[in-house]
Chains A and B, each alone.
Chain A
Amino acid sequence: MSALLEIRDLAVHFPRPRRWREPPAVVRAVDGVDLDLRRGESLGLVGESGSGKSTIARTLVGLQRATAGSIRLDGSELTGLDARGWFPFRRRVQMVFQDPYGSLDPRQTVLSILTEPMEIHALRKPRERRLHALELLEAVGLNPHYANRYPHEFSGGQRQRIAIARALTVHPELVICDEPVSALDVSVQAQVLNLLRELQERYDIAYLFISHDLAVVRSLCQRVSVLYLGRVVESAPRDEIFEAPRHPYTQALIAAVPDPTRAAAHPPVLLEGEPPSPTRPPPGCRFHPRCPARALVPDDRCAREEPPLRTDGAARWTCHLEPGSAPEA
């Protein structure tokens, strides 16, 4: 399979908002991230607030400039392109935002929302744009007869369907979903997740699926990358990451998911504290101040040295701990 998206050593830093009597500082939101995504595949990007997952999304759709590193879409380098150079790639990479209430213009009709991307990219004639928009409304499970209604006349789940339809109007190869279901109720969440899966098969789209909810990611993505403080700490195929997580942080994340069926046995690993600020990430392994496995590594190497990249089949992770020496989580 060919790689659709190749991200190498991506860094996105921005100046921290100036504060009184504090020296200027840089927020290292994304700091050396590698990601690979094949055509028609979905990659889950998991992490807590401040892990940099939304920044990666915004960088991929050109809302944020990369500080360093490379983003290659289908072999073409995107970083360093100016607005005009980037324009043709914007059609191929679309985004679905978290908030179905904020991402649709309240003054536009659904039809106008759906034809807008085609207008921008000068695809089709006006009448065909409208017909195509109706087709997509149907494809996402909405009644196309309501095309002249306004977003506020739809519920949250319906609006998210509209947002998904909008992303699909220009035949993208990659759709970036930034927490697309976290604002929805559970029953509706499942509807939208099933829809995303169905559309992927039908239109052969790749998803970069960003979420803080591991169970949601598991239900949709074939591969998962776990982010911590702007770095990928583990990347592996779904089954491996959920059945045999290798990085202590991944283990802790999975253990922290509340689950009605596991309620009897309380999670054994619980992280203490909160992620430090990305302005001053800890030296060595960024996870070491909270890591439950730190004591197992001799010489306190975790606090001093960058952890090595380890691979095992398709899984890769960065940790000082030798594979096999950690107690099973």
Chain B
Amino acid sequence: MALVEVRNLWVDFETPEATVHALDEVTFSIERGRTLGLVGESGCGKSVTARAMLGLLRSPPAVVRTGQVVVDGRDLMAMGEAELRGVRGREVALVPQDPTTAFHPLLTVGRQLTEVLEVHEGLRRRAADDRAAAALAEVGFGDARDVLHRYPHELSGGMRQRAMIAMALLCRPKLLIADEPTTALDVTLQAQILRLFRELQDRHGSAVLFVTHDLGVAAEVCDDVAVMYAGRIVESAPTRELFALALHPFTRGLLRARPRLDAPVDQGLAPIPGRHPELLERPPGCPFVERCEFALGPCHDQRPPFELWSLAGTARALHGRRVACFEARQVAAAQDPAVELRPQSAPGGRPA
């Protein structure tokens, strides 16, 4: 069993005006030491997934219909608030998008780091200081002792995000959730932080869920990528394979819509027409159908199963390449006519 397993998670948000179907049968798992990138557009449910995994879905308005979030054998969805508090920060830690608001402005960085250790591990002040300084040194602060005494506003944006990562790693969490950790940063800082993530991943070996809207960023740090659309996971695959061959039309569209540094310029970009739906109702068929160039009859009224596929003649599907699309073969053929896809039934997976 994988270290982190999210099984069949359905989450709605109920407000007086409307019900938003935020998550729809979300299922994935992360092995120890691997990084899963959760990629999608705004409003697709990727941040809701991240919050669910921290046990931060407040009810109301969130209503968890079914589903489990199992971290190291324990289901977060079944825990009470007190139990969750013991898990948060200790076994599951978060690197937020905006490090500016995530720090308390009136406490020194050191105080905020040591507090985590005092609460979760009952360390004394001196010992906690040592651990905090070591954690800061690990994320690249040459003057870690000095940084302990500084206030968040005295650090620059990039430094704050490093400190945030140090804080998240303090208790050696089993699962680290990074919610768009580089979106607020400039490219050169983003590159630094991404490199830091890779280094830390090699050293710590915790499971990482990396939420991002940027496929390029996901490619830099993730071992596997799951693409979300309208509250569902529509495709998941090892990173390299996903970028080599997209099986879902949305993934393909995302890859083609992105301006790239090595594509010919003159032909313009290939946008996906229309826009992301608002999730006010659950469509009977594929949620992408209205923007999809491959859509046929069944796409409108039948839900495409999230199936395991293999490439004929290769063993490339060994990691579990899944896609929820009736027309996956056509999508693949549009990119590489030589590819031959075969549905594959696997233990634990649903028969095709």
A100 CB → nearest B CB, Å:
12
B264 CB → nearest A CB, Å:
10
Option from B158, B191, B270 in Cβ contact (under 8 Å) with A267: B191
Contact A187 B254, CB 8 Å, known A197-B268, A252-B188: yes
Contact A212 B268 (CB under 8 A): no
Contact B271 A215 (CB under 8 A): no
Contact A186 B275 (CB under 8 A): no
Contact B253 A187 (CB under 8 A): yes
Q: Give per-residue flags for A247-260: 1 if the beta carbon is below 8 A from chain B beta carbons, else 0.
A: 00000111111111
Option from B187, B192, B213, B261 in Cβ contact (under 8 Å) with A272: B192
Contact A219 B259, CB 8 Å, known A258-B217, A260-B243, A274-B189: yes
A266 CB → nearest B CB, Å:
8
Answer yes or no: A218 CB below 8 A from chain B CBs: yes
Q: How far, in angstroms, from A277 to B186 measured CA to CA in the complex?
A: 15
Q: Which of A42-90 contact B (CB under 8 A)?
A: 48-49
Q: How far, in angstroms, from A261 to B270 measured CA to CA in the complex?
A: 17
Contact B239 A187 (CB under 8 A): no
**Chain A residues in 8 Å Cβ range of B157:** 49, 274
Answer yes or no: A189 CB below 8 A from chain B CBs: yes
Contact A219 B275 (CB under 8 A): no
Option from A214, A215, A256, A270 in Cβ contact (under 8 Å) with B258: A215
Answer yes or no: B79 CB below 8 A from chain A CBs: no
Option from A155, A214, A254, A267 in Cβ contact (under 8 Å) with B275: A155
Q: How far, in angstroms, from A48 to B214 measured CA to CA in the complex?
A: 18
Contact A256 B243 (CB under 8 A): no
Contact B276 A193 (CB under 8 A): no
Contact A186 B191 (CB under 8 A): no
**Chain A residues in 8 Å Cβ range of B216:** 257-260
Answer yes or no: B59 CB below 8 A from chain A CBs: no
**Chain B residues in 8 Å Cβ range of A185:** 41-42, 213, 275-276
**Chain B residues in 8 Å Cβ range of A213:** 187, 259
Interface SS majority for chain A:
helix
B285 CB → nearest A CB, Å:
20
Contact A190 B240 (CB under 8 A): no
Name the interface size band of chain B.
35 or more
Minimum CB distance partner of B269 in chain A: A190
**Chain B residues in 8 Å Cβ range of A215:** 258-261
Contact A219 B190 (CB under 8 A): no
**Chain B residues in 8 Å Cβ range of A258:** 190-191, 194, 214, 216-217, 219-220
Q: How far, in angstroms, from A216 to B259 measured CA to CA in the complex?
A: 6
Q: How far, in angstroms, from A272 to B218 measured CA to CA in the complex?
A: 22
Answer yes or no: B255 CB below 8 A from chain A CBs: yes
Name the interface size band of chain A.
35 or more
B166 CB → nearest A CB, Å:
17
Contact A48 B187, CB 8 Å, known A254-B261, A272-B192: yes
**Chain B residues in 8 Å Cβ range of A155:** 275
**Chain B residues in 8 Å Cβ range of A263:** 219-220, 239-240, 243
Contact A48 B186, CB 8 Å, known A185-B213, A258-B214: yes
Q: Which of B8-67 contact A (CB under 8 A)?
A: 41-42
Q: Which of A188-220 contact B (CB under 8 A)?
A: 188-191, 193-194, 197, 212-216, 218-219
A324 CB → nearest B CB, Å:
23
Answer yes or no: A320 CB below 8 A from chain B CBs: no
Answer yes or no: A142 CB below 8 A from chain B CBs: no
Contact A187 B191 (CB under 8 A): no
Find the residue from B213, B243, B268, B269 having the highest chain A CB count within 10 A. B269
Q: Which of B207-223 contact A (CB under 8 A)?
A: 213-220
Q: Which of A240-299 contact B (CB under 8 A)?
A: 242, 252-264, 266-267, 270-272, 274
Q: Which of B148-198 contact A (CB under 8 A)?
A: 156-159, 186-192, 194-195
**Chain A residues in 8 Å Cβ range of B253:** 187
Answer yes or no: B83 CB below 8 A from chain A CBs: no
Answer yes or no: B143 CB below 8 A from chain A CBs: no
A223 CB → nearest B CB, Å:
13
B109 CB → nearest A CB, Å:
17
Q: How far, in angstroms, from A95 to B192 measured CA to CA in the complex?
A: 33
Answer yes or no: B262 CB below 8 A from chain A CBs: yes
Answer yes or no: A180 CB below 8 A from chain B CBs: no
Answer yes or no: B2 CB below 8 A from chain A CBs: no
Answer yes or no: B265 CB below 8 A from chain A CBs: yes
Answer yes or no: A238 CB below 8 A from chain B CBs: yes
Contact A191 B191 (CB under 8 A): no
Q: How far, in angstroms, from A252 to B186 measured CA to CA in the complex?
A: 12
Contact B187 A261 (CB under 8 A): no
Q: Give per-residue flags for B266-278: 1 if the beta carbon is below 8 A from chain A beta carbons, else 0.
A: 0011111101100
A222 CB → nearest B CB, Å:
9
Answer yes or no: B127 CB below 8 A from chain A CBs: no
Option from B156, B195, B213, B291 in Cβ contact (under 8 Å) with A186: B213
Answer yes or no: B257 CB below 8 A from chain A CBs: yes
Contact B191 A259 (CB under 8 A): no
Contact A49 B257, CB 8 Å, known A187-B271, A194-B269, A259-B216: no
**Chain A residues in 8 Å Cβ range of B272:** 187, 190-191
**Chain A residues in 8 Å Cβ range of B219:** 258-261, 263
**Chain A residues in 8 Å Cβ range of B191:** 255-256, 258, 267, 270-271
**Chain A residues in 8 Å Cβ range of B260:** 215, 259, 261
Those 3 A-B pairs whose CB atoms lie nearest each other, nearest first: A258-B216, A190-B271, A187-B272
Q: List 27 A-B contacts (CB under 8 A).
A: A155-B275, A185-B213, A185-B275, A187-B257, A189-B259, A190-B270, A190-B271, A193-B268, A193-B269, A194-B269, A212-B187, A218-B259, A218-B261, A219-B265, A253-B187, A258-B190, A259-B216, A259-B219, A259-B261, A260-B216, A260-B218, A260-B255, A266-B195, A270-B188, A274-B158, A274-B188, A274-B189
